[in-house]
């Protein structure tokens, strides 16, 4: 925590609350804490140095300041969530009597359907990887696995060898809030993953000590999320694909292609690690063109 924070901010205890009691993922915790550091920097500039002194007027001023920064709607909404959770913690602990965030109205986020790739797009990307090199074998295994399992990029980077149950065609994925789920892995992804583990990973390891992470960078260390983004960016250029692609697009494509193939929604929910089926249901809206075609083909009065 920055030394400039006022004593009454209680962000060290808030960090413990987010980790132990809320069991939030590390990236979420870091984002919430960064939001609160931002809020306190603003508050101190306006002469407010204790949570109990924060007023509705100050919050309105802060929200106005956030709006001027032209941040994404999702980022703005997260700032609201951070403030609400922070004051919920303070009230619960008896550190303040009133919660000024009850007056805040969260911005309504536009309903956006996730971007997906066609199967042909996925193949175009995967086949553009030069697997004559160790890093190419790693990259092929990595993106095959993202598409085969729908795991998040953070889950991929955190993946360790003891989570691989390849003899049963399964991977034990550790998701948000340390929740575990078993996800099947198909033959193509399993082939490239085994090849990576046998041929490429020992050469990347170079005698370095690790905690068993599956995917390593060219220095024998755990591959970071930023590294995956950079590799994918370069791969898109190489492949000539003209669509916007991020690691998360593989997850969206995984879910959509399963549902298009007839998979049960609750099975897809389980594989994605969604606690609420409503989160998974967004993927059912993506294939409306297919539904229209089926209706036109088979309905007697279409």
Catalytic, out of 79, 138, 152, 190 = 152
SS3 20: helix
Q: How many Å apart are CA 136 and CA 204, to the nearest integer? A: 12
Query: Worst-scoring range by mean pLDDT, 5-14, 38-47, 121-130, 291-300?
Result: 291-300
Which CATH number describes the domain made up of 119-293?
1.10.443.10
Residue 176 among the catalytic residues = yes
Catalytic, out of 22, 95, 176, 195 = 176
Residue 211 among the catalytic residues = no
Residue 287, pLDDT score: 60
Residue 274 among the catalytic residues = yes
Residue 201 among the catalytic residues = no
To the question of pTM greater than 0.85 for the whole model, the response is no
Catalytic, out of 17, 86, 87, 283 = 283
Catalytic, out of 222, 251, 252, 257 = 251
Q: How many Å apart are CA 274 and CA 203, to the nearest integer? A: 36
CATH architecture entry for 7-103 = Orthogonal Bundle (1.10)
Residue 190 among the catalytic residues = no
CA-to-CA separations, 233 to 128, 129, 226, 236, 244, in angstroms, rounded = 12, 12, 11, 5, 9
Domain ranges of the chain: 7-103, 119-293
Residue 108, pLDDT score: 64
Question: In this structure, how many other beta carbons lie within 10 angstroms of the beta carbon of residue 112?
Answer: 9
Each residue's pLDDT tens digit, 236-272:
999 999 998 999 999 999 998 888 888 888 888 889 9
Residue 261, pLDDT score: 80
Q: How many Å apart are CA 291 and CA 272, to the nearest integer? A: 23
Each residue's pLDDT tens digit, 62-96:
988 988 888 877 788 889 889 999 999 999 988 88
SS3 223: coil
**What secondary structure letter does DSSP report for 99?**
-
Residue 206, pLDDT score: 80
CA-to-CA separations, 262 to 19, 257, 266, in angstroms, rounded = 38, 9, 12
């Amino acid at each position: 925590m920055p030394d400039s924070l006022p004593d009454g901010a209680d962000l060290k205890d808030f960090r413990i609350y987010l980790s132990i009691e809320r069991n939030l993922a590390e990236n979420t915790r870091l984002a919430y804490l960064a939001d609160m550091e931002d809020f306190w920097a603003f508050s101190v500039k306006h002469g407010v140095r204790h949570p109990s002194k924060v007023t509705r007027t100050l919050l309105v001023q802060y929200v106005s300041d956030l709006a001027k920064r032209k941040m994404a709607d999702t980022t703005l909404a997260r700032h609201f969530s951070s403030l609400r959770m922070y004051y919920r913690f303070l009230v619960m602990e008896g550190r303040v009597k009133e919660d000024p965030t009850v007056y805040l109205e969260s911005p309504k986020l536009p309903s956006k359907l996730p971007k997906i790739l066609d199967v042909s797009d996925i193949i175009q990307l995967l086949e553009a990887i030069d697997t004559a090199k160790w890093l190419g074998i790693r990259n092929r295994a990595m993106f095959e696995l993202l598409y085969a399992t729908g795991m998040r990029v953070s889950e991929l980077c955190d993946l360790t060898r003891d989570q691989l149950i390849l003899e049963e065609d399964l991977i034990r994925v550790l998701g948000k809030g340390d929740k575990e789920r078993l996800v099947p892995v198909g033959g193509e992804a399993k082939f490239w993953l085994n090849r990576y583990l046998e041929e490429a990973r020992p050469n990347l390891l170079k005698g370095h000590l690790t905690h068993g992470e599956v995917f390593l960078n060219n220095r024998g260390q755990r591959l970071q999320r930023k590294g995956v983004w950079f590799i994918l960016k370069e791969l898109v250029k190489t492949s000539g694909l003209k669509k916007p692609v991020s690691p998360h697009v593989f997850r969206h494509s995984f879910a959509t292609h399963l549902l298009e193939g007839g998979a049960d929604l609750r099975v897809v929910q389980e594989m994605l690690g969604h606690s609420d089926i409503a989160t998974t249901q967004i993927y059912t809206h993506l294939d409306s063109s297919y539904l229209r075609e089926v209706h036109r083909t088979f309905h007697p009065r279409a």
